[in-house]
Amino acid sequence: MAPTMSYKFPLTGLAREGKLSLTQQLVDRFAAAIEHGDLAPGEKLPPTRTLAADAEINHLTAARVYRKLAEEGYVTATVGRGTFVRALVPAAAEAQGDDWQSYVLPDRQASYQEEILSDAFRLAHEEGMISLATGFPSPRFHPTDELAEISAQMWADEGKDAISYTTPEGLLGLRERIAEGGKKRGFAEGPEEIIVTSGCQQAIDVAVRAIVEPGDVVVVESPTFVGTLAALRSTGARVIGIPVDENGFDVDALEHVLTRHEVKLCALQPACQNPTGTDLAPERRSRLTQLALERNFFVLEDGVYGDLRYDGKKLDALRRQAPGHVVHVNSLSKVVGGGLRIGWIAARGPVLERMTMLKQGTDFHTSTPIQHIAARYLATNAYARNIDESLPYYRERRDVLMDALATHLEGEVHADVPHGGHHVWVTLNRPVEERMFYSEAVRHGVSFTPGGAITVDRPQRTSFRLSFSLLEPEDLEEGVRRLARALREVRRSSRTAVAAPLS
């Protein structure tokens, strides 16, 4: 009888009187075929009745063969679907190191936003690279000496209690200090409205998870902070972008959305918006909070850049106008330093209780000693002094960047002067392919944040964010010069591609 090839290898010639059982002989043959690639990952094996007929064995023996292969990790079986070769088999796992993990982990590709964020951190440390992609506070304004003194005194005063557990809401002393500022600016009435978080990103994440469910409709300013966009998308909600112009978040556009959708949450930065640096105009502020009251949706107000204002007076928080509908998030990261990881949420009602439970389930509470240090820091006038000292420094760099754009990209770009923050939002007058421009800029030794990474929908125009807080004036000038060269190269390449004859 000729060898059968139903399984891409012979099943006949089994030693029926030998020491090794028929089951084990067949298991060994299957395992060898899988390890050598004769049976490919994901390939479906014929039913046990076919195996029984081809190998001239009974059905129970065939079933034992597949069961043992499954136990040894070579195949997986699902009732109603059949038996399949596993993506990564045991023999291959050791040879491929930790590659097996990619087969076991959920099938999830990194998003464009995540890739750009990763690039921003990586490229900032490359030799010769001018990074216009990161807008962290300058280390020269990190109050390390003050924090060191506060820390030493805190350990002396608090002793072992400094590393004890505390409540999910955070230390009362820190919440009182935050609430004092909240009363002045309108985002809180007292410490009972405050939850201390590990930075503003956690505050955004906790707030979004508390409010939004899969299938909900949420709106967010576009462009926006990449962390807000990622948090909203992670919920499975439908995310709709609302344009931002010189008067901030376009409330008229929001009203059009409200005629067609029941909106659950509206997320925005009403003061010194990232990346445009714009403020929400007074009439729009009033209309937005009125809509929230009428339609009963939440407003997520991000105030992290509100204190870094170069022009005009500081604005009250939106939450002053609608404290039951607005959830305010903020942090010390943009003024004191991002590594401190002190942020907060201000809210009231059932949503506050739900966020407290989510905070507890996430990390139980923010680091106790860091909370003690932050409370003591805010009890002094050091925070206000830091702002007063840093604003002229950042304003100078903003102006240098604006001048460099006017000099090296004259006629090519539009950029409004930001009222505050660490960024300038730039739009090309003639669009180019964004990823090509980004790649060419990196090749020329300069990086930026592409607009597509921080907008909800694929933009029709080519826009990008330039950050100025970490660079010296001469580096900002050179960075824009490199951008201009990269743009000229992209335009030249595009013309060449269009002119090239088809073969």
The pLDDT value given to residue 501:
45
Asked if residue 364 belongs to a domain, the reply is yes
Residue 52 and residue 174: Cα distance in Å, rounded?
72
- What is the pLDDT averaged over residues 222-227? 95
Give the phi and the psi of residue 316 in degrees, each rounded to 5: -65, 155
3-state secondary structure at position 147? helix
Pair (294, 170) in one structural domain: yes
What pLDDT band is residue 4 in, cutting at 50, 70 and 90? very low
* pLDDT above 90 (res 377): yes
What pLDDT band is residue 459 in, cutting at 50, 70 and 90? confident
* pLDDT above 50 (res 502): no
For residue 150, what is the enclosing H or E element?
Answer: helix 144-158
* pLDDT above 50 (res 248): yes
Residue 163 and residue 370: Cα distance in Å, rounded?
9
Pair (416, 320) in one structural domain: no
pLDDT tens, residue by residue, 148-160? 999 999 999 999 9
Number of alpha carbons in the 13 Å side-chain half-sphere of residue 299: 32
pTM summary value: 0.82
CATH of the domain at 177: 3.40.640.10
Instruction: Output 460 or 201, whichever has higher pLDDT.
Output: 201
What DSSP string describes 308-371? -BSSSPPPPPGGGT-TTTEEEEEESTTTT-GGG--EEEE--SHHHHHHHHHHHHHHSSS-HHHH
CB-based contacts of 148: which residues, under 8 Å, 6+ apart?
none
The pLDDT value given to residue 10:
76
Pair (292, 164) in one structural domain: yes
- What is the pLDDT averaged over residues 120-127? 82
* pLDDT above 60 (res 43): yes
- What is the pLDDT averaged over residues 361-390? 97
Number of alpha carbons in the 13 Å side-chain half-sphere of residue 187: 29
Q: What is the rounded (10 degree) CA torsion for 393, 397, 402, 403?
A: 100
pLDDT tens, residue by residue, 271-304? 999 999 999 999 999 999 999 999 999 999 999 9
Name the residue among 270, 272, 288, 278 with its Cα closest to residue 325. Answer: 288
Does 41 sit behind a cis peptide bond, omega within 30 degrees of 0 on the bond before it? no
Residue 318 and residue 243: Cα distance in Å, rounded?
19
Question: Terminus-to-terminus CA distance in the chain, angstroms?
Answer: 56
Pair (278, 353) in one structural domain: yes
Residue type, 272: C
pLDDT tens, residue by residue, 74-87? 888 887 788 999 87
* Domain residue limits at 470: 112-136+385-493
The domain boundary, picked from 345, 379, 413, lies at 379
The partner residues of 238 in beta bridges, in order of sequence, read 217
- What is the pLDDT averaged over residues 60-74? 90
What pLDDT band is residue 9 in, cutting at 50, 70 and 90? confident
What pLDDT band is residue 73 in, cutting at 50, 70 and 90? confident
The pLDDT value given to residue 503:
34
What pLDDT band is residue 434 in, cutting at 50, 70 and 90? very high
Asked if residue 26 belongs to a domain, the reply is yes
The pLDDT value given to residue 88:
66
Task: Using alpha carbons, list the distances in angstroms from residue 60 to 51, 64, 73.
Answer: 11, 6, 20
By CB atoms closer than 10 A (0-12, 13-18, 19+), residue 204 is buried
The pLDDT value given to residue 336:
96
Pair (409, 450) in one structural domain: yes
- What is the pLDDT averaged over residues 120-139? 89
Pair (159, 242) in one structural domain: yes
- What is the pLDDT averaged over residues 308-328? 95
Number of alpha carbons in the 13 Å side-chain half-sphere of residue 480: 27
Number of alpha carbons in the 13 Å side-chain half-sphere of residue 467: 24
Residue 203 and residue 328: Cα distance in Å, rounded?
9
The pLDDT value given to residue 95:
59
Residue 424 and residue 135: Cα distance in Å, rounded?
10
Pair (98, 206) in one structural domain: no
Pair (213, 174) in one structural domain: yes
Pair (173, 121) in one structural domain: no
Residue 132 and residue 124: Cα distance in Å, rounded?
9
Pair (150, 129) in one structural domain: no
For residue 397, what is the enclosing H or E element?
Answer: helix 382-408
Asked if residue 8 belongs to a domain, the reply is no
* pLDDT above 60 (res 48): yes
Output b/e per residue, 93-129; b: 16+ Cβ within 10 A. eeeeeeebeeeeeeeeeeebbeebbebbeebbeeeeb
The domain boundary, picked from 82, 104, 126, lies at 104
What pLDDT band is residue 499 in, cutting at 50, 70 and 90? very low
Q: Based on the structure, what is the number of domains in the chain?
A: 3
Pair (61, 126) in one structural domain: no
* pLDDT above 60 (res 238): yes
CATH of the domain at 452: 3.90.1150.10
Work out the percent of the chain whose per-residue pLDDT is above 90.
Answer: 76
Pair (438, 289) in one structural domain: no
Residue 332 and residue 327: Cα distance in Å, rounded?
17
CB-based contacts of 436: which residues, under 8 Å, 6+ apart?
490, 493
pLDDT tens, residue by residue, 162-200? 999 999 999 999 999 999 999 999 999 999 999 999 999
> Quick check: 427 and 414 in contact, CB under 8 A?
yes
